[in-house]
Amino acid sequence: MHPDGRGTYWRGAIGLWAVLLVIWAAVNGSLAPVVMVAGLAVTGAIALPLCRTATPWTDLRLGPRAILGFLRYTAIFLREMVRANLGVMRVVYAPRIDIRPGIVPTRVELTAPMARFVLANTVSLTPGSLVLELKDESLSVHLLDRTTTDVDINTAAVSGAFQPALARTFG
């Protein structure tokens, strides 16, 4: 890496470019050469300037360990998404609404900025929860039905499944 940080910039830019290109291919549903060449151009035009200002992308690693961690995270996310949807569906279709909404604290053990960002967005994407604040080592989450205010129990319930996979993916 150069002393001016150029190696870090290029690592982040290439990582972001790869991620955006995979999303491009998935959205287009085609690996045709014309589509992929257009994807290379469009995603490159997005990734290269974005990495000059968005420093969390420089933490992105694309090694086998990170890719396996991301696949594990994706499987956990899909499982938790189904569970959360079923939980909200139980509330919606119940003859009597019996919920205790509230804001609960959870602990964040992740240190990489991108991992923390992905965790906060993942928790917000699961139905019945919304991240209100990510500050230092805590996450304030509004839950549709909170059972306790204990930090350890909430951490395990809200973000505990995601954190090990994200730590493996982002370091």
Domain span at residue 86 reads: 64-170
Strands 129-135 and 138-143: antiparallel
Task: Let me know whether 47 and 131 are in one domain.
Answer: no
pLDDT at 32: 92
Domain boundary among 44, 59, 74: 59
| Residues 41, 72 share a domain | no
**pLDDT for the residue 19:** 82
Q: Are residues 31 and 103 in the same domain?
A: no
Both 84 and 51 in one domain: the answer is: no
Question: Which has the closest alpha carbon to 137: 171, 167, 105, 107?
Answer: 107
- Among all chains, which residue has been given the structure tokens 């990495």? 51
Could you say which residues of the chain have pLDDT below 70?
1-8, 53-62
Same domain, 111 and 145: yes
Q: Are residues 50 and 88 in the same domain?
A: no
Same domain, 125 and 158: yes
Question: Does residue 105 belong to any structural domain of this protein?
Answer: yes
Q: Are residues 116 and 148 in the same domain?
A: yes
Same domain, 68 and 48: no
Q: How far is CA 67 from CA 25, 41, 61, 90, in A?
A: 17, 24, 8, 35
Q: How many domains does the chain have?
A: 2
Q: What pTM, to 2 d.p., does this model score?
A: 0.71
Cα–Cα distance measured from residue 11 to residue 147, given in angstroms and rounded to the nearest whole number:
43
pLDDT in tens, 138-163: 889 998 888 877 888 888 888 888 99
User: Tell me, what's the pLDDT at 54?
Assistant: 61
